[in-house]
Structure 1
Amino acid sequence: MDGMDRAMLRRLQDDGRMTATALAEGVGLTLAPCHRRLRELENSGVIRGYRVDVDPAKVGLGFEALVFVTLKDRLSLKPFEEEVAEIGPIIDAQRLFGDPDFLLRVMAEDLPAYQRFYDDVLVGLPGVEKLTSTIVMKSIKSGGRLPI
């Protein structure tokens, strides 16, 4: 990856719907080399996909919680990770060093909906010993761009 690839990625992070023509013009390439580089970035997995940035509140998901999870033992790691990966309201999940073991970002309609999700889903995940929830008051920055 060179400076031109990085310039293309910076522009695409700001506008993933940008046409190849606009991208080529923006980075100072002709269309054919821009297409070739774009395909290489996609095929190599540098570009993992293209997504739409949806406002959660406008689709009825105005409640956000951060959930810290501590597991009982290391035998539960893989089953826990596999199950979490399949649960829609958990929109981000990170394994952490130290205690707690995981940080989950959960979206729900409101507090009662989150409470039901907590009681019906989160407490039943494999190996859960402890859950600690923090309610997000306000989102200051989301959908951050990689500093490339």
Structure 2
Amino acid sequence: MDAIDSRIIDQLRQNARAGYGDIGDVVGLSASAVKRRVDKLVAERVIRGFTVQVDPAVDGLAVEAYVELFCRGTVAPDELRRLLLAVPEVVEAGTVTGDADAIVRLRSRDIPSMEEALERVRSAPNVDHTRSAIVFSRLVDRAHE
């Protein structure tokens, strides 16, 4: 990957629907040259996909929470992944350093459904307890800008 590839990726980050000709005008290449580079970046898995970001509230998922997950004993990441995949409201999760074993992000339509989802997480065999925080407003969301 070179500096031109980086500039192409920057253009796609700003607008994944941009035409190859429009990107070429910015980076100084023809549309076909941009297409070849994008195809190569996709083949090499540098670019892993093109997507649409939709406001979760449009899909009826207006409530968001971050949950610290604390397990009994040692639980393998694969086991945590398995139990979290069983809860559809879990949209993101990762193991972390510190006291908690994992941080989980949930989305649901309302507070009662969030409580139900959280109870499904809490009742998993290896989960000792959780600590939750409901999101009131997003201050920074660079992943979706």
Q: TM-score normalised to the size of structure 1?
A: 0.86
Equivalent in the alignment of 2:107: 107
Distance 1:42 1:89, change over 3 A: same
Instruction: Point out where structure 2 has 5 or more consecutive residues left out of the alignment.
Output: none
Residues 91-130 of structure 1: pairs in structure 2 closer than 5 A: 91-119=91-119, 121-130=120-129
Distance 1:6 1:55 in 2: 28
Distance 1:135 1:85 in 2: 20
Equivalent in the alignment of 1:47: 47
Q: How many residues matched?
A: 144
3-state SS in 1 of match to 2:57: helix
Distance 1:67 1:39, change over 3 A: same
CA deviation vs aligned residue, 1:91-148 (integer Å, no higher than 9, x gap)? 11121122212111110111111011112x2113352122111010101222427xxx
Equivalent in the alignment of 1:141: 140
- Compute the displacement of 1:82 (Å): 3.1
Preserved CA contact (<8 Å) 2:71 2:126: yes
Identical pairs, percent: 26
Higher RCO (C-alpha under 8 Å, 6+ residues apart): 1
Preserved CA contact (<8 Å) 1:80 1:125: no
Tell me whether 1:89 sits opposite 2:57 in the alignment.
no
- Compute the displacement of 1:17 (Å): 1.5
- Compute the displacement of 1:85 (Å): 4.1
Preserved CA contact (<8 Å) 1:21 1:31: yes
Preserved CA contact (<8 Å) 2:64 2:135: yes
Q: Letter of the aligned partner of 2:114 in structure 1?
A: Y
Distance 1:72 1:55 in 2: 36
Equivalent in the alignment of 1:8: 8
Q: Letter of the aligned partner of 1:130 in structure 2?
A: H
